[in-house]
Amino acid sequence: MKLHSQKIDSPCIRNCCLDQDDVCVGCYRSIKEILAWGSANEQQKASILLEVEKRKGQRNKISNNRS
């Protein structure tokens, strides 16, 4: 039985601009993560996406506290 691995697409939304921490304001990946994406395997991409979700949640929490 062969397991199907799901291809993970880039989270890029073509709103590319780095903030003061070198994190894209569109997809929330760091510049290091963006550069690594093209050669990353699916497990590494999944790991990056987990970090993206954490970072996005933290940024949204900070943004909501400023409102």
Whole-model pTM: value is 0.81
How is the chain classified by DSSP, letter by letter?
Answer: -PPPPPPPPP---S---B-TTSBBTTT--BHHHHHHHTT--HHHHHHHHHHHHHHHHHHHHHHHHH-
Q: Read off the tokens for 7.
A: 């291809």
- With 0-12 / 13-18 / 19 or more C-beta atoms within 10 angstroms meaning exposed / middle / buried, residue 59 is middle
Could you report the per-residue pLDDT of 4-44, keeping only the tens digit for each? 567 999 999 999 999 999 999 999 999 999 999 999 999 99
Q: What is the chain's alpha carbon radius of gyration, rounded to the nearest angstrom?
A: 14
